[in-house]
Amino acid sequence: MVRFTLPMILAPYVVLAIASTVAGILSWRSGATPNPTLINLTQRINAWWVMVILMSIAFAFGKSGVILLFAFVSFAALREFVTLTYSRRSDHWVLLGIFGIILPFQYWLVWTEWYGLFTIFIPVYCFLIMPALTALRGDTERFLERIAHQQWAIMIAVYCISHVPFLLFLDIPGFQGQQIFLIIFLIVTVQGSDVLQYVFGKLFGKHRVSPNVSPSKTWEGLSGGLASASLLGAALSFMTPFSPLQAGAIAFMICTLGFLGGLVASAIKRDQGVKDWGQLIEGHGGMLDRADSLVFAAPIFFHIVRFYWTV
């Protein structure tokens, strides 16, 4: 049974208020000369205020609010991916179908709780039909590259992210009506791990994980971030159907996957010669710069919970 819902609702605002206060004090102590690190920190905190408020509003509207929120996240992420990668005029009808048919249909499957088709619509039917439609256009210029872009776009931006709102419909004995806390657990642990990896990396980082892909990611940051995020997950077990040990182990797994998702996203950006996916969120880059860790974590978390905890 989930208890202390008011503290859970207020906790993100308290943390952000403390972060804003600390950032303000540090900026005041730095004097008239602006510190680039503090400016970036303030931008990130302000962006998190906006995101937390939007998530709170969505959660307040229940099922419809959450689905619409993540449909918007998918739309913004999909737009960034398509804008960044190579396409030709002959791809325009397929791209229109991605935005106008595939994305809304996938979230309609979430809304109707049609799990069977939800799991195969994109990775089976869309995977096969999209390149066939592109081939029918007769344009073979960089064909494999173009269809790979299209398939990766819908897998990352639509399929993987759509697993987050589907957590609302898992039938977990003794946990009915409380599935929203699974989403909170997922987001807090994975995003918290990102922040903790950054902090530990800045404090102790010496050995880079993959210098050519993401020079800022270090083994020390990764280890410290995963360890502390696992403890965070164990501490949040009271809002889940998991025991503290199970919650810590799951947090470790999904945060590891979150790290790998961020690394893959960085590799794609390096390949395309850009630093950020976009400029939608001040201080954070684009939507995919914030959601990249959820891309790998959300589907695995969803299926772990569904396999081991549902009826």
Rounded to 5 degrees, φ, ψ at 92 are: -65, -35
H-helix or E-strand containing 79?
Answer: helix 62-84
Joined tokens for residue 304: 């772990």
CA dihedral 164, 166, 168, 170 (to 10 degrees): -120
Pairing between β-strand 208-210 and β-strand 214-218 as defined by DSSP bridges: antiparallel
Average pLDDT over residues 210-218: 87
Average pLDDT over residues 72-90: 92
Q: What is the pLDDT of residue 1?
A: 39
Higher-scoring residue by pLDDT: 35, 223: 223
**Token pair 């210098």 is at which residue?**
211
Average pLDDT, the chain: 87
Task: Please return the burial class of 76, using the count of CB atoms within 10 Å of its CB with bins 0-12, 13-18 and 19+.
Answer: buried
CA–CA dist 71, 63 (Å, integer): 12
pLDDT beyond 90 at 45: no
Q: What is the pLDDT of residue 201?
A: 83
Q: Is 216 helix (H, G, I), strand (E, B) or coil?
A: strand
pLDDT digits (tens, 9 = 90+) for 97-142: 999 999 999 999 999 999 999 999 999 999 999 999 999 999 999 9
Q: What is the pLDDT of residue 2?
A: 40
| 214 within 8 A of 149, measured Cβ to Cβ | no
pLDDT beyond 90 at 196: no
CA–CA dist 187, 244 (Å, integer): 17
Q: Is 185 helix (H, G, I), strand (E, B) or coil?
A: helix
Put simply, whether the predicted model's pTM sits higher than 0.75 gets the answer yes
pLDDT digits (tens, 9 = 90+) for 158-184: 999 999 999 999 999 989 888 989 998
**Looking at 152-161, 189-198, 265-274, which range is the least confident one?**
189-198
Q: Which of 23, 45, 83 is nearest to 283 (CA)?
A: 45
Q: What is the pLDDT of residue 282?
A: 59
